[in-house]
Amino acid sequence: MDKIINNLPNAYKKDLWVQMLMKTAQIQLDELEQNAIQLGNELLLNLTSEKQLQVEEKLCGITSSLSQNIDDRKAVVSSKWKSKGLTTLQVLQAIADSWQDGHTELSYPEAQSIHIKFIEPNGVTKDLQGMYKALRENAPAHIPFTSERVYQHPKAKICIAAVPTFSARILIKPKPKEGT
């Protein structure tokens, strides 16, 4: 109520009838403000409600699974939004970046495969299957995927990379120098 009253001329501030009228108006304005904030949040995928997420999934043609948590479902919708148009490595990287609980780098070495590097800590997303499915739907069908997990401690002099998805080899190589 103080928001409206403070903006009135001094002669009206002490009038009981004006105070009651402004109190009633303030209740309505507070409700409108909350609705406007909620509507604004519905436009941002990371703040959207479950109800609006269901609408977005339907618009994208996605059938969600009960086993997926809300963040994974938002990542799938985000990847669907980003996948429209020509598929480039940057588009595939944007799709992978939709899963914010992991850290990945995509490359296309020697034009033979799309290489996914999961960089630890937090390299592999919890919804790895969902991310892989979104990438596979958007990448050319004839190009295979390879992957590796890189564990790199900030103070260590080496980094260890393993390729668990496609082979059992472990690579130990010098840690890259800062700035190179």
The pLDDT tens digits for 146-164 are 888 877 665 655 555 554 4
Q: List Cα–Cα distances, 79 to 25, 55, 178, in angstroms.
A: 43, 16, 32
- 32 and 89 in a single domain? The answer is no
pLDDT tens per residue, range 81-131: 877 777 888 889 888 888 877 788 888 888 788 888 887 766 677 888 888
Strands (E), 70-169: 104-107, 114-119, 145-151, 158-162
- 155 and 102 in a single domain? The answer is yes
- 38 and 90 in a single domain? The answer is no
Global pTM value = 0.56
Count of C-beta atoms within a 10 Å radius of residue 64: 15
Domain of 9, in residue numbers = 2-42
- 168 and 100 in a single domain? The answer is yes
- 14 and 91 in a single domain? The answer is no
Sheet holding 158-162, edge to edge: 104-107, 114-119, 145-151, 158-162, 170-174
When divided into structural domains, the chain yields a total of 2
Question: Does residue 53 form part of some domain?
Answer: no
